[in-house]
Amino acid sequence: NSSSISYIDPIKLLGSDLLDLTRNIKRLLGSGHPLLESISKYYFTSQGKHIRPLLVLLISQATSLAPKQYQTSSSTDYYEIIDSPISPSFSSLELVNKSPKEIYQPSFSAQGTYILPTQRRLAEITEMIHTASLLHDDVIDISETRRNQPSASANFGNKMTILAGDFLLGRATIALARLRNPEVIELFATIVTNLVEGEFMQLKNINRIDNRNSSSSHKEKNEKSFTFDYYMEKTYMKTASLIANSCRGASILGGCTREISDIAYDYGRNLGLAFQLVDDMLDFTSSSDEFGKPVGADLKLGLATAPVLYAWEEFPELGPLIDRKFKDKGDIEMTRNLVYQSKGLEKTKLLAASHCKKAISSILNLPKSDARSALVQLTDKVLTRKK
Ligand code: FPP
Ligand code: MG
Ligand code: MG
Q: What is the DSSP string of 214-283?
A: S-HHHHHHHHHHHHHHHHHHHHIIIIIHHHHHHHHHHHHHTTB-HHHHHHHHHHHHHHHHHHHHHHHHHH
141 lines ligand 1 (CB under 6 A): yes
* Closest by CA position to 359, among listed 299, 288, 286, 274: 274
Between the alpha carbon of residue 378 and those of residues 10, 54, 275, 356, 372, the distances in Å are 7, 10, 11, 9, 10
Residue 125 C-alpha to ligand 1 middle, in angstroms? 16
User: What pTM was computed for the model?
Assistant: 0.91
pLDDT at 345: 97
Residue 7 pLDDT exceeds 50: yes
* pLDDT tens-digit series, residues 204-232: 987 655 556 677 777 777 889 999 999 99
- Counting ligand 1 atoms within 8 A of each CB, the residue from 190, 191, 238, 275 with the most, and so the one to mutate, is 238
pLDDT at 76: 52
199 lines ligand 1 (CB under 6 A): yes
Reported as a pLDDT band with limits 50, 70 and 90, residue 17 is confident
In whole angstroms, give the CA distance from residue 70 to residue 43.
37
In the chain, % of residues over pLDDT 70 = 87
Residue 298 pLDDT exceeds 50: yes
Reported as a pLDDT band with limits 50, 70 and 90, residue 41 is very high
* Closest by CA position to 280, among listed 231, 318, 343: 231
* pLDDT tens-digit series, residues 69-110: 877 765 555 566 677 766 655 444 343 444 545 555 667 777
Ligand 1 atom with the smallest distance to the CA of 166 is 16
Reported as a pLDDT band with limits 50, 70 and 90, residue 363 is very high
* Closest by CA position to 183, among listed 288, 256, 97, 106: 256
In whole angstroms, give the CA distance from residue 373 to residue 2.
10
In whole angstroms, give the CA distance from residue 63 to residue 51.
18
Residue 135 pLDDT exceeds 60: yes
* pLDDT tens-digit series, residues 150-202: 999 999 999 999 999 999 999 999 999 989 899 999 999 999 999 999 999 99
Reported as a pLDDT band with limits 50, 70 and 90, residue 244 is very high
Reported as a pLDDT band with limits 50, 70 and 90, residue 2 is very low
In whole angstroms, give the CA distance from residue 265 to residue 184.
13
What is the DSSP code string of 69-111? SSPPP--HHHHHHHTSPP--SSS-GGGSPPPPGGGGS-EE-TT
> Is the model more confident about 217 or about 286?
286
What is the DSSP code string of 132-156? HHHHHHHHHTT--EETTEE-HHHHH
130 lines ligand 1 (CB under 6 A): no
Helix (H) or strand (E) holding 375: helix 370-384
In whole angstroms, give the CA distance from residue 6 to residue 185.
35
Residues in a beta bridge with 107: 115
Q: Counting beta carbons within 10 angstroms of the beta carbon of residue 376, is it exposed (0 to 12), middle (13 to 18) or buried (19 or more)?
A: buried
277 lines ligand 1 (CB under 6 A): no
pLDDT at 94: 40
Q: Stretch 342-366: mean pLDDT, rounded?
A: 98
Residue 163 C-alpha to ligand 3 middle, in angstroms? 17
pLDDT at 98: 47
What sign does the dihedral 114-117-118-122 (CA atoms) show? positive
Ligand 1 atom with the smallest distance to the CA of 276 is 19
Q: What is the 3-state secondary structure (H, E, C) of 268-303?
A: HHHHHHHHHHHHHHHHHHCCHHHHCCCCCHHHHCCC
- For the chain, count helices (H), then strands (E): 18, 4
Residue 386 pLDDT exceeds 80: yes
Three-state SS for 353?
A: helix
Q: Stretch 346-373: mean pLDDT, rounded?
A: 97
301 lines ligand 1 (CB under 6 A): no
Residue 139 C-alpha to ligand 2 middle, in angstroms? 9
293 lines ligand 1 (CB under 6 A): yes
Q: What share of the chain is helix, strand, coil (3-state, %, to 5)?
A: 70, 5, 30
Residue 256 pLDDT exceeds 90: yes
* Closest by CA position to 251, among listed 70, 47, 22, 2: 70
Average pLDDT, the chain: 89
Residue 136 C-alpha to ligand 3 middle, in angstroms? 9
